[in-house]
A = this chain, B = another copy of it.
Amino acid sequence: MVKVAVLGYGTVGSGVVQVIKDNNELVSKRSGTEVDVKYILDLREFPGDPYESLVIHDFNTIVADPEIGVVCETMGGVGAAYAFTKQCLEAGKSVCTSNKELVAKHGPELLEIAKANNCSYLFEASVGGGIPIIRPIMDALCAEKIESILGILNGTTNYILTKMEQEGADFDAVLKEAQALGYAERDPSADIEGHDACRKIAILSSLMTGKNVDSEKVYTEGITKITAEDFAFAKEAGYTIKILGVSEAKEDGSTLIYVSPFLINKAHPLAMVNDVFNAIFVTGNMVGDTMYYGKGAGKLPTASAVVADVIDAARHIGKNIPCYWDAQSAKLAELDDVSHKFFVRIKSEKLYELENLFPGGEELDMAFGGQRVYITPEVNEKEFRTAAEKLGDGLLGRIRVYG
């Protein structure tokens, strides 16, 4: 018998309670012991809720209750969530979380506390929502040296980019539509500026390298500058536009990590990943490419991943499930040293100058509202930036080309 406490009765928290209750027979069978929810911690009351009677307001009740073996932290944020997680782990209670911000910020410390107290800190839901990605990396690919991780890691931006492509619409219009549908937050900046994807690729990179990747040091570019014109040109040229998190192990032991929009060839499997779906490519030195695909967010997919962790924790009460993520900082490679092709949207009269700056690229035979586009040959990031400055406001937009 393992009793569970859920911290935060919001979207994910209520989903966790629902999955444990609705799939209870299965959850208990797979845990090898009866599993049930004993407490729901929230500041609010939930009159009329079927689990109203489980709601409590005092966190100390949970820490002090020896029956509680597993705690689900679905509060979010790095304040109370951090303090509560620490106290639970110090009390030997495993914590399962969907809180990517906390995992990205304090992962190694919390893993260390879990280890010292013979319990586990598990965070499958923090990266892929419902897509199993932490476990494949930790377990199924554990015989691999992982060489790269690359993926569409944020459902909101992928929804926006998909709609922009399909409807030829502008960023602002689609963002408003996404907000109205609940696919984007009222303050959408964490998604559209790429911070959410950045935290996720930082977590994945930490697991890939075994060292700590500070998400605040990762170059991150959002999608706010992508326009309907970019899509019109990209489409004609056989591309779509996606925002990707990228992590590549370099031969010198450093890791190149960044988040950026990319032009992707329509024939690439990632080009088919639309709407709120996410997909993550993991490349190992033995297995080659593998891909994981599914809904990266949403109440029940995320809750299901939290409960998978609850089952794992329940199977290992009194034991630490190991996670190879040290506090030591991973060495990050400089983006400046990397080369890409760049898709450049430019005022027509500047095309000649652009071609002279980056000769040997691909001039696309399209013109639109006084604009032209040109795909440069592979050029170093720093060189591109320096040269592009010469174009001044003639340069209307530039997007990295993947592959």
Task: Find A26's partner among B15, B143, B272 (CB 8 Å cutoff).
Answer: B143
Across-interface contacts of A77 in B (CB, < 8 A): none
Residue A253 at the B interface, CB < 8 A?
no
Which A residues from 124 to 161 make CB contacts under 8 A with B? 124, 130-132, 135-136, 139-145
Across-interface contacts of A301 in B (CB, < 8 A): 286-288
Which stretch in A290-298, A339-347, A352-360 binds the other chain?
Answer: A290-298
For A295-313 the 0/1 string (1 means CB < 8 A from B) is 1001011011101101110
B143 touches A139 (CB 8 A): no
> Distance (Å) between the CB of A315 and the closest chain B CB?
8
A32 and B301 CA atoms in complex are apart in Å by 32
Residue A30 at the B interface, CB < 8 A?
yes
B285 touches A294 (CB 8 A): no
B29 touches A324 (CB 8 A): yes
Which A residues from 218 to 232 make CB contacts under 8 A with B? none
Residue A269 at the B interface, CB < 8 A?
yes
Residue of B nearest to A315 (CB): B322
Which A residues from 14 to 28 make CB contacts under 8 A with B? 15, 19-20, 22-23, 26-27
Knowing A143-B310, A269-B272, A310-B143 touch, does A23 contact B294 (C-beta < 8 A)?
no
Q: How many identical subunits does the complex contain?
A: 2
A interface SS class: mixed
A139 touches B130 (CB 8 A): no
B139 touches A23 (CB 8 A): no
Knowing A135-B140, A143-B308, A143-B310 touch, does A289 contact B294 (C-beta < 8 A)?
yes
Residue of B nearest to A140 (CB): B132
Residue A76 at the B interface, CB < 8 A?
no
A292 and B308 CA atoms in complex are apart in Å by 18
A322 and B308 CA atoms in complex are apart in Å by 15
**Considering the complex of A and B, which 9 residue pairs feature the smallest CB-CB distances, nearest first?**
A132-B140, A143-B307, A290-B294, A291-B293, A130-B287, A286-B304, A286-B300, A287-B301, A132-B136
Point out residues on A near B: beta carbons under 8 Å. 15, 19-20, 22-23, 26-27, 29-30, 32, 124, 130-132, 135-136, 139-145, 267, 269, 272-273, 279, 284-295, 298, 300-301, 303-305, 307-308, 310-312, 322, 324
